[in-house]
Structure 1
Amino acid sequence: MTDVPHDDEPRVVLSARGLGKDFSGFTAVNNVNLDVHHARIHALIGPNGAGKTTVFNLLTKFLQPTRGQITLLGTDITKMKPDAVARMGLVRSFQISAVFPHLTVLENVRVALQRPAELHVQFWRSLGALDVLNGRAEVLIDELGLTPWRDVRAADLSYGRKRVLEIATTLALDPQVLLLDEPMAGMGHEDVHTVAEIIREVARHRAVLMVEHNLSVVADICHHVTVLQRGEILAEGDYATVAADPRVRTAYMGTEA
């Protein structure tokens, strides 16, 4: 396991206090407090049904909380809509790849760059107008190791490379906080290592909050871990701390042994 550095605590960029969500009398999330820090990787883990995806949906405003407050970069975003939150710098990837399969790697990244360049609203401009985005797109593609696949259609990429491309398209929005939903799901060992290193590099300049089932990856790259069970926080701290907690072992394996 690679040691994760613990230097001076950076600033909090995304925060939740007393976060709760009820569905027709069923409490899916209850009293969750969360602080996500700049230039840190924060993992949200827990057994199936623990409420991880619901918390993600609440933070990104795909769901409105029943209780609690969410703050992004010092601004209360509790009642904001998802598009407004995204424009503030909170960007999410999904477990299912969301790239355009019939576009090349370069074309996918150029499409993603249209919003920060405000070309997405200039529908009267020719396709050639997107050429102004090539420089930034090339930089992103190179940073994520996708240059050899620059002109390859997304449909023809390996599963792991599609996930890397998805990260590239989210980075095109220049997020302050990047939320990754099971980025390693379905990957082989080699792809897992590649994507883990990319996430580590991405987090040098922004906060990353990730839901992830691969605990080896969590142990290797994450600075802080929050464990959920039945919609509530069971334990939190660095990986060594939560892994040593008998309540966490019970939650995952059904026995303290």
Structure 2
Amino acid sequence: MSDIILETEGLTKEFRGFVAVSDVSLRVRRGAIHGLIGPNGAGKTTCFNLLTKFLQPTRGTIRYEGRDITGMKPAEVARLGLVRSFQISAVFPRLSVLENVRIALQRQRGGSFDFWRSETLLRAYDRRASELLEAVGLAGYEDLTAGELPYGRKRALEIATTLALDPVMMLLDEPTAGMAHEDVDRIVALVKRVAEGRTVLLVEHNLRVVQGLCDTITVLTRGRVLAEGDYASVSRNPEVIAAYLGTETPAHA
């Protein structure tokens, strides 16, 4: 089994002449927590959308578990175990917390119409849903309407629904965005827990979070890879400092 679980070569996305992602070559090690960082407009979310097939690349290839997934659809790569969360918390606000996770678990039946199944049949998923909620710190919240959850708890619920899809690799898009300090610490601890036995690729603006979580960091700017390495080496890189400070030239130029 290869040490590299996800790999891109020459990944490029153009929008009517604007190059959002340019010639990105990325290698994510199996079992690692890999961070994708960069200033606003660096192309991080576009890169995520390419990896999970919500966008098709203009050029380049994407391989997951040694398999070329460049032309696949989002549902196809999700079935292979490559599952993502989104920058904006995505829950069903009028359903209960338990029902949100149960919907994700219903995927195991392989059908599209489980909404019409009997309540008795669907309750077969409740035990596993409760286990997942406990894993993300939401035990006791099962009957609460998801829309009533504080923002940080909604992100935990989204991670629970992602786990319900039994991912081999999770892609988390800014999991701590907009959170208060105590919620950030809770989500960092949660990501560490759910990363056990999995690979995680995350986009994150909070550099304290990146420092505490990531084994390897790839820095994007203007759609290109600027630097890669551990936090200590990346944070000292003059070009990275220049990109974050908004200077026109690298600090060593």
Query: How does the TM-score come out when normalised to structure 2?
Result: 0.94
1:171 counterpart residue number? 163
User: Who is 1:37 aligned against?
Assistant: 29
CA–CA separation in structure 2 for the residues paired with 1:239 and 1:33? 19
By how many angstroms is 1:124 displaced?
Answer: 4.9
What is aligned with 2:151? 159
Structure-1 separation of matches of 2:18 and 2:101: 40
Matched-pair contact (CA < 8 Å) for 2:6–2:28:
yes
Corresponding residue of 1:64: 56
Deviations 1:60-113 (A, max 9, x none): 111111111101111100011111111111111111111111111111111110
Kept in 1: contact 2:106–2:114 (CA 8 A): no
* Identity across the alignment (%): 59
- Alignment check: 8 A CA contact 1:16 1:33 kept: yes
Cα distance between partner residues in 1 of 2:113 and 2:148: 30
Task: Confirm whether residue 200 of structure 1 aligns to residue 192 of structure 2.
Answer: yes
- Which of 137, 140, 145 aligns to 1:148? It is 140
Please tell me whether the aligned partners of residues 95 and 146 of structure 2 are also in contact (alpha carbons under 8 angstroms): yes
Please, which of 194, 204, 211 is the counterpart of residue 212 of structure 1?
A: 204
Matched, 1:14 2:6: yes
Secondary structure in structure 2 of the residue aligned to 1:97: coil
RMSD: 1.5
Q: Which residue number in structure 2 is paired with residue 135 of structure 1?
A: 127
> Residue 248 of structure 1 aligns to which amino acid in structure 2?
V
Q: What is the distance in 2 between the residues matched to 1:57 and 1:107? A: 27
Following the alignment from structure 2 to structure 1, what is the Cα–Cα distance between the partners of residues 72 and 89? 25
- Structure 1: runs of 5 or more not aligned: 1-9
Q: Which blocks of at least 5 consecutive residues in structure 2 are unaligned?
A: none
Contact 2:11–2:59 (CA<8 Å) still a contact in 1? yes
Deviation of 1:122 (Å): 4.6
State the aligned residue count: 248
2:24 is paired with a residue of what secondary structure?
A: strand
Measure, in 1, the Cα distance between the counterparts of 2:111 and 2:131: 19
